[in-house]
Structure 1
């Protein structure tokens, strides 16, 4: 039964019978027979099956969560008995917000794949929040720690934000000497899903909450960065996005003496989020360690 449970977990992790069959080097028909046999023994239906997708039933989701430790403990015991360490391998599904994925993750993934050729990375660049359990994601990279107690988080970076604009914009518009001056400027805005946007300023004991408006709003930072570089407005984005352009002088700092954030309590920190397991799968552990090591250069 343990082998059938392992097949079941691979189907969930892979998202389909055919993908699981490729990973396990089995025929899709054998995968289906294993699942049928497991369902018969459990006397329950684990999947809602259709020609287009495979979805866990409520019972299937419960069994997946509860049986995870059984599979992990069995793998650890076998590795101990064999005197071997698991080699990172298999499919690694990563969900990351698009700006960080494009600028920080995409450049380092090829090196990771060269180090671990048996790992396959499925990278999803999307700004929506995902449920690691129901969306079948191994690793999510987000701003802030998760509220779900069933998830673990590993800090990757601080998320300091900087106020910038292009030299052309600065030359052609009124000088910004204090936060309130931004009310007269075109500000490029991250969508907050509310009618009004505010930027929050701190300097010593002084605090300012400034209402900002602009003609471009985006859930992702990349369109705003491009617009700022073309002189369209004032930009508030993470340091890891704007630092290269400050160094090249394509952008200049605005109000550098102030700390400024999109939220009153700060911009948070960037975390890698993964399912709470005593022993995360080897390819997840390997990628976490790799990211932390590589991303220290942008801190």
Structure 2
């Protein structure tokens, strides 16, 4: 089977349009159309339903697109391995993690990684949806639960808990509650329990919201909660790893906290030898070990497992 025709078919199937595929391939629409018809003739089947608004794959086209997609992923992986040098780390690395961990912990530390590897290109995807690593939606994932997908190399990075924090300025103005019953006059900043988040954080927020506090601020991610706390808006439910970067935060009601949340780093088995992946993994582990060293004697220390 002619690989060039398969390459053009894959581009058309991916774009859903002869014109858009031609733009990607730098070919005219008529040239793309001829190649598709030639492929259909060689296979003796129709690969697309043609509509005024675009092209839709037939059942046979779906089967072929699945095969070409697998081929493209394997070629991308092979190209990545070829580009990885024993002496030099460079190229693109797709990393995914949650919005909170990415914005509050990872991004502020990336300057150090770029200083070490200035030619590294990181595509950072911050979302609560779990991306499919074996399907190469991302190369590396940092998640607040152990990945369930097969063929992944995984490592537990740390364990975190959600706790209640405030600034000294807020507490000086509003007072420091000593019991849960004293939370009523305070303003609570947290994610709504139904917002996508770790279940233990949702449980803690739900318990605190049940205290009938006078005022609340609900934000759909922990970065927004952090900004509210730092602006002295109220008491915020935040992950304890933030105490490393914001040592002035005061923990309120030390007996109140969420259940333990494991944080895992994972990547596909096929990227085991990738130097980009190894460089990123080692950097994250070094940063976590630095937190452990700096906070081993504080209440906000995080539990590390290696």
TM-score (norm 1): 0.62
Q: Deviations over 1:127-186 (max 9, x none)?
A: 444334668222222211123235443223322333211223323436422234335532
Of the candidates 186, 198, 204, which is equivalent to residue 199 of structure 1?
204
Give the 3 Å change call, closer, same or farther, for CA 174–109 of structure 1 in structure 2.
Answer: closer
Residue in structure 1 matched with residue 220 of structure 2 by the alignment: 219
Gaps of 5+ in 2: 16-24, 49-56, 196-201, 293-306
Displacement after TM superposition at 1:124 (Å): 2.6
Report the equivalent of 1:283. Answer: 276
Q: Aligned pair in 2 of structure 1 residues 104, 58: CA closer, same or farther (>3 Å)?
A: farther
For 1:236, the equivalent position in structure 2 comes to 237
CA contact (8 A) 1:72 1:279 kept: no
> Which deviates further from its counterpart, 279-288 or 127-136?
127-136
| Structural mapping, 1:136-175, within 5 Å | 136-173=137-174, 175=176
Question: What is the Cα deviation at residue 64 of structure 1?
Answer: 6.8
Counterpart CA distance in 2 for 1:283 and 1:139 is: 10
Kept in 2: contact 1:44–1:59 (CA 8 A)? no
Contact persistence 2:134–2:152 (CA under 8 A): no
Q: RMSD between aligned alpha carbons?
A: 5.2
Q: Find the counterpart in structure 2 of residue 107 from structure 1.
A: 108
Q: 1:252 aligns with which of 245, 250, 253?
A: 250
The answer on whether the counterparts of 1:165 and 1:231 sit within 8 Å (CA) in structure 2 is: yes
Counterpart secondary structure, 1:144: coil
Q: In terms of mean alpha carbon deviation, does 137-146 or 173-182 score higher? A: 173-182
8 Å CA contact 2:167, 2:230 repeated in 1: yes
d(CA) in 2 for partners of 1:156 and 1:60?
A: 40
C-alpha change, 1:60 and 1:156, in structure 2 (3 Å) is farther
How many equivalent residue pairs?
263
Distance of aligned partners of 1:75 and 1:101 in 2 relative to their CA distance in 1, 3 Å threshold = closer
1:272 matched to 2:275: no
Which structure has the highest helix share of the two?
Answer: 2
Alpha-carbon separation, structure 1, partners of 2:125 and 2:221: 14
Q: C-alpha distance in 1, partners of 2:190/2:179?
A: 19
Q: How far 1:209 moved relative to its partner?
A: 5.1
Aligned mates of 1:198, 1:73 — CA distance in 2: 40
Task: Say whether the 8 Å CA contact 2:271–2:277 is kept in structure 1.
Answer: no
Match of 1:95 in 2: 96
Structure 1 unaligned spans of 5+: 16-26, 47-54, 201-207
Q: What whole-Å deviation, never above 9, does each CA across 1:266-288 have from its counterpart, x for those lacking one?
A: 24122223234373533223222
Q: Give the TM-score taking structure 2 as reference length.
A: 0.61
Tell me if structure 1 keeps the 8 A contact 2:178–2:253: yes
Matched residue of 1:274: which SS? strand
**CA–CA distance in structure 1, aligned partners of residues 141 and 234 of structure 2:** 31
1:189 matched to 2:190? The reply is yes
